[in-house]
A and B are shown apart, each in its own frame.
Chain A
């Protein structure tokens, strides 16, 4: 089978092209879609190729645009609403949490808004508190939303396609820090999002590292460094955090006895805590050789000043050091 070179951004572009070509009911709506710089290289020239009537740049109205996408989905379309920064999407919470997520349940499963809400984590570069947030855990708390966080080039393309084809509302969250990641991909195979979930992306036997999106990259990078120090780390990529299926993580921890979760957001009520609780509830007493640990952001909004920003975000070295502690080693 032939393969094509993509990066994380162009893989999403390929997904958009695939969907817009194959499905006339797909359209895209959001701010910045006719601009070359809002969404990196992930949507370049879609408006020129498929028309401004299907790739709709909008007034500055996150709430109405998201609600309109919910309505269009109920009328049989497959809309993708794009929020170039997650922070601005907070204006749209009623459409996401009260309307889209609840709709199927509150109408007895007779209708479902199968829209995809693509929101982007876009941080760093001294952008500060309102241009940096990773609020995925909020959406993982809400029944009725499927929340997808691709960490690989393949998932950036294939999970976006699966999200749009899914009849449930989906929050698809991509990360600008991953856009340069490269890989060779085979032709598209459509998948059912409901069957996708956490997956082991690197095998090991000493410690289980769990991540999602960019934190999975940190975990993989850390695993490579740990290997050089004689520590064998297994990496689980969450991929879909709502609904969260912990089976793959539990299986891994039953093997390693050690669990370290890395998350690019805050600790309280976050996804790292949820993963740890899900595992502790399921493994037999005695399986864990060490107390589980998590690496998250300092419990403060993102700073702007360079020195503070450098200290704010965890790195692979942070993961290596914490994993070493679980192994009683200085790494």
Chain B
């Protein structure tokens, strides 16, 4: 981008509020992306309420405001790809086509959940849909994504590994090892850094000397793209370039998507001014840089969508979310035998 590794206008919420340009794009596909972003947002709003009301026992890390990143990347992925997430991965798993009901059931600790009620919000698993797992240890899955990418290279099917990580994870040593290793092994690993400018309560300016995390990709000779993470079209276009290179055997890629979370680090509160440099003014400005509203505006500008159709779409999703939530609450908890029966998978001997 430049020698200063500044993100330029990208972290400024007052800019980039314009409608997203959807001219000459497949309208039907864009509408499915819009619908997925809305589904993710409604699902997370439902989870925020469930947590606030005490129905959810464990922590939930919500990514409202960041939906365009996962949906843009997932547009270029297939079920045989291998995606790893983070502590904040509801969008990552849903964008791969996971069931809302099974996500909710997992977060409520039910046996029908994605991880059979053993993981909760922070340990999600849906390998049949290409989602290999998410964990809360910051950067914990990044080397695993290099490993699935290396396996994909050995297996020869042109699949890729994807590591979602945040700007905070870029401060972990293993990320730098992983970038170098992926490059040296020419593993088709795609590192997607959701730079939401915060690690928990700490603004990136208090943690790193430069604001663009893509500088570490450059340092490891890895092709990179830096985009507005609240523009699903730009995210997809950039992801497509990196993923197609990886599928063609050219090794890893790094996508830095600049975005912002509307909720605080964990649960339903906004964390206004509880940390450092997270003000109500900033949160308000970022809400105007809404990846969903901007996409709706872009579709409307082309005459592809209107308020009435939006209302219908949102109503359908609201019903879908409400039904999934209700169904999940009625599901059974795991049997008590699950306390010890899932530690090992090989049978026999003492366990």
Show the binding face of A for B, using Cβ within 8 Å.
27, 53, 56, 58-59, 61, 63-77, 79, 94-95, 98-99, 103-112, 143-144, 146, 166-168, 192-197, 243-245
Chain B positions 95 through 124: 1 when the CB is less than 8 Å from some CB of chain A, otherwise 0: 000000000000000000101111100010
Q: Given A65-B181, A243-B349, A243-B350, is A107 in contact with B115 using a C-beta cutoff of 8 Å?
A: yes
Q: Which residue of B lies closest to A110 (CB)?
A: B125
Q: Given A108-B116, A146-B344, A195-B349, is A74 in contact with B144 using a C-beta cutoff of 8 Å?
A: yes
Cα A76 to Cα B113 in complex, Å, equals: 23
Assess whether B349 is in contact with A68, with CB atoms less than 8 Å apart: no
Task: Give 28 pairs: A residue, B residue, CB < 8 Å, sorted on A.
Answer: A56-B185, A59-B181, A63-B143, A67-B144, A68-B143, A68-B144, A68-B147, A69-B147, A71-B82, A74-B127, A74-B147, A75-B82, A75-B147, A79-B147, A94-B140, A99-B141, A104-B345, A107-B123, A108-B119, A109-B118, A109-B345, A112-B345, A166-B346, A192-B348, A193-B346, A194-B349, A195-B349, A196-B349
Assess whether B150 is in contact with A194, with CB atoms less than 8 Å apart: no
Size of the B side of the interface (Cβ < 8 Å), in residues, is 53
Cα A220 to Cα B343 in complex, Å, equals: 34
Assess whether A197 is in contact with B349, with CB atoms less than 8 Å apart: yes
Residue from the list B151, B174, B338 in contact with A75, Cβ < 8 A? B151
Cα A66 to Cα B144 in complex, Å, equals: 8
Show the binding face of B for A, using Cβ within 8 Å.
82, 84, 113, 115-119, 123, 125, 127, 132-133, 135, 137, 140-152, 154-155, 161, 173-174, 177-178, 180-181, 184-185, 187, 334, 338, 341-351
- Chain A nearest CB, measured from B284 CB (Å): 38
- Chain A nearest CB, measured from B170 CB (Å): 14
- Chain B nearest CB, measured from A139 CB (Å): 14
Residue from the list A72, A107, A146 in contact with B147, Cβ < 8 A? A72
- Collect the chain B residues with CB atoms within 8 Å of residue A192's CB: 346, 348
- Chain A nearest CB, measured from B225 CB (Å): 23
- Collect the chain B residues with CB atoms within 8 Å of residue A69's CB: 147
Q: Given A64-B178, A75-B82, is A106 in contact with B346 using a C-beta cutoff of 8 Å?
A: no
Assess whether B146 is in contact with A194, with CB atoms less than 8 Å apart: no
Cα A108 to Cα B123 in complex, Å, equals: 10
Assess whether A245 is in contact with B180, with CB atoms less than 8 Å apart: no
Q: Given A61-B180, A75-B82, A195-B348, is A108 in contact with B152 using a C-beta cutoff of 8 Å?
A: no
Assess whether B118 is in contact with A105, with CB atoms less than 8 Å apart: yes
Cα A244 to Cα B350 in complex, Å, equals: 7
